[in-house]
Amino acid sequence: MLFKRWAVCILVGLSFSTMAATPQDLLKSYEAQSGKASPARGEQFFNAKHGKEWSCASCHENPPNHDTKHIVTGKVIKPLAPSANPARFTDEAKAEKWFKRNCNDVLGRDCTAQEKADVLSWLMTVK
């Protein structure tokens, strides 16, 4: 019985540790899939329209270091820059969910690992 409790505690602890991340951890993961990130490319990507009506800055503004509102729903969006919102990019599944949704809105497709790396590397420089 004691062994079962110990095993459950270990498994729960491991599941929480795999969910926890830092922006640096995510950046390393994206760079491992693509190549070295470029903050300059990330800023350009963030501000550009990519054949669709919106850019990332349409909702997150530039710099993305303060609360904003979604341009359609009016819902408050917390700061995207990790320096202004320490909770950003600390949950890999959540980051992937929002990259998928927002990239589809902006690009009409999923972002590549390189695009994610570039944008995240720039966001990490925003104060």
**Per-residue tens of pLDDT for the chain, all 127 residues:** 554 554 444 444 443 444 568 999 999 999 999 999 999 999 999 999 999 999 999 999 999 999 999 989 999 999 999 999 999 999 999 999 999 999 999 999 999 999 999 999 999 999 9
Please tell me the predicted confidence (pLDDT) of residue 71. Answer: 87
Half-sphere exposure of 37 (CA within 13 A, CB side): 27
CB-based contacts of 6, cutoff 8 Å, min separation 6 = none
Beta strands in 17-112 (DSSP E): 68-69, 76-77
Spatial distance between the Cα atoms of 102 and 18, rounded to a whole number of angstroms: 24
pLDDT at 37: 98
The whole-angstrom separation of Cα 75 and Cα 51 is: 24
Domains of the chain and any CATH numbers? 22-123 (1.10.760.10)
**Confidence (pTM):** 0.84
Yes or no: say if 26 and 111 are a contact pair by the CB < 8 Å rule: no
Output the pLDDT for position 20. 62
